Amino acid sequence: MTSDFSATRALFHLPEGVIYLDGNSLGPLPRAAASRIAACVTQEWGDMLIGGWNKAGWMDQPARLGDRIARLIGATPGSVVLGDTLSIKVWQALAAALELRPGRRVILSDTGNFPSDLYMADGLVRTLGAGHELRTVAPEAVGPAISDDLAVLMLTEVDYRTGRKHDMASLITRAHAAGALVVWDLAHSAGAIPVDLAGAGADFAVGCTYKYLNSGPGGPAFIYVAPHLADRVRPALSGWLGHEQPFAFDAAYRPGRGIERMRVGTPPVLQMAALEASLDIWESIDMADLRARSIELTETFIQSVEAACPTLVLASPRDPHHRGSQVSFRHPQGYAIMQALIARGVIGDFRAPDILRFGFAPLYTAPEDVTAAAAILAEIMATDAWDRPQFKTRARVT
């Protein structure tokens, strides 16, 4: 398989005059998604009506698309299913993992984790009570903090602010040695870097599809459960579509086979159609090629920015093997600088208190985009172009 990134770039709609380095927040529109969604709306919903659940395959879609995502994250077919939001999937994985470790009550995470993961874990331990605890340590202190009272280690592989990447395989080994299970959040990994869930011996993983996987705003999340664990999970969110026979309308819940039991309610069919169009593009991509291209792009950006902008401080690991597919810089005026960049057509984003964050997606980010973006940033810094009132007024930040 040889990935042709100039060919994939043409498959995305990228507005004229925009260099889009924010695909780690929301990926751009795959051109084919527009017609795929339109067909889903008019030919499926419109013409098939209720029949679409079977005739258009809506009911099987969460598992079918799960299999296509599985390849991108090193999972076997039948171990990934789509649905809900990432926050719900985090909660679901944590609840399942805790129940598989009776007698243990501690979830360990790191302070750099995405806040919603921590919030959901906090809500879960509060709901469970009885001594359940969410413990957090600094990202670099996670390994030493793995102790024998741990039920679950919950980590986001790639830090949303800095792009710092945890060493998945070694942390899993360490957690397993302590008798704990591990839940990985792949929000900034899936479609960004090669992931080898099966090879690393991962227990649970969750992720979203609207970042590097380009499924559009509010696209469904996914969940992975290791095949040897899936049939042992007793779903806490025991919804009808995770039932062994949803349409038998039994009074009692019986979990479905394997990963199917992690489904909850009715899948968002229109969002699934967008994801399907996006996954067609991924079919031609080799993840090793993607990683090589990603490192080329991020290295170029770091070198160009550091050479021209001495006041911007690299916030991402310098070693590309320790970061995902994003690069972040710190600056006290980070907010204004990002607004000035956006005004010039370079779209990245700002994360409080001082992080300028840039995502690099080989599917549509070309080397010339990277040098052009770095040049515009250099010009803004050299001329203090960010130092204007309109760039300093904080509107709602998303």
Write out the catalytic residue numbers: 114, 185, 210-211, 357
297 to each of 74, 162, 186, 276, how far by Cα in Å? 23, 16, 21, 27
How far is Cα 31 from Cα 363, in angstroms, rounded to an integer?
13
Residue 35: how many CA atoms within 13 Å on its side-chain side?
A: 5
Q: Which is nearer to a second copy, 73 or 134 (CB)?
A: 134
DSSP calls for 168-208: HHHHHHHHHHTT-EEEEE-TTTTTTS---HHHHT-SEEEEE
Residues 60-79 that bind a second copy (CB under 8 A): none
| 118 lies in the binding site for a second copy (CB under 8 A) | yes
Q: Please identify which residue in 63, 81, 95, 146 interacts with a second copy, judged by CB under 8 A.
A: 95
Q: Please identify which residue in 304, 351, 365, 391 interacts with a second copy, judged by CB under 8 A.
A: 351
Phi, psi of 103 (to 5 degrees): 90, -15
Q: Please identify which residue in 7, 133, 234, 387 interacts with a second copy, judged by CB under 8 A.
A: 234
How far is Cα 214 from Cα 204, in angstroms, rounded to an integer?
23
Give the shortest CB-267-to-a second copy separation in angstroms.
5
| 147 lies in the binding site for a second copy (CB under 8 A) | no
| 17 lies in the binding site for a second copy (CB under 8 A) | no
Residues 204-233 that bind a second copy (CB under 8 A): 208, 210, 216-221
| 260 lies in the binding site for a second copy (CB under 8 A) | no
The radius of gyration computed from the CA coordinates of the chain, to the nearest angstrom, equals 22
Q: Please identify which residue in 11, 26, 193, 205 interacts with a second copy, judged by CB under 8 A.
A: 26
Q: Which is nearer to a second copy, 46 or 332 (CB)?
A: 46
Residue 364: how many CA atoms within 13 Å on its side-chain side?
A: 27
**Of the listed pieces 263-271, 282-290, 306-314, 319-327, which binds a second copy according to CB under 8 A?**
263-271
Cβ–Cβ < 8 Å for 232, 93? no
Q: Which is nearer to a second copy, 3 or 328 (CB)?
A: 328
How far is Cα 36 from Cα 48, in angstroms, rounded to an integer?
16
Q: Per-residue string for binding with a second copy, 97-116, x by CB under 8 A?
A: --------------x--xxx
Closest Cα to residue 242, out of 219, 259, 225, 220?
259
Residue 299: in which H helix or E strand, if any? helix 287-308
Adjacency order of strands within the sheet including 313-314: 313-314, 326-330, 355-359, 349-351
Q: Which is nearer to a second copy, 85 or 300 (CB)?
A: 85
Q: Please identify which residue in 64, 76, 78, 88 interacts with a second copy, judged by CB under 8 A.
A: 88
How far is Cα 186 from Cα 157, in angstroms, rounded to an integer?
6
**Of the listed pieces 26-34, 138-146, 168-176, 370-378, which binds a second copy according to CB under 8 A?**
26-34
How far is Cα 353 from Cα 376, in angstroms, rounded to an integer?
23
Q: Which is nearer to a second copy, 74 or 139 (CB)?
A: 139
Residues 169-198 that bind a second copy (CB under 8 A): none
The token pair that represents 152 in the structure block: 């679950």
Residues 30-49 that bind a second copy (CB under 8 A): 33-34, 37-38, 41-42, 44-47, 49
Give the shortest CB-306-to-a second copy separation in angstroms.
26
Q: Which is nearer to a second copy, 49 or 141 (CB)?
A: 49
Q: Please identify which residue in 13, 318, 388, 392 interacts with a second copy, judged by CB under 8 A.
A: 13
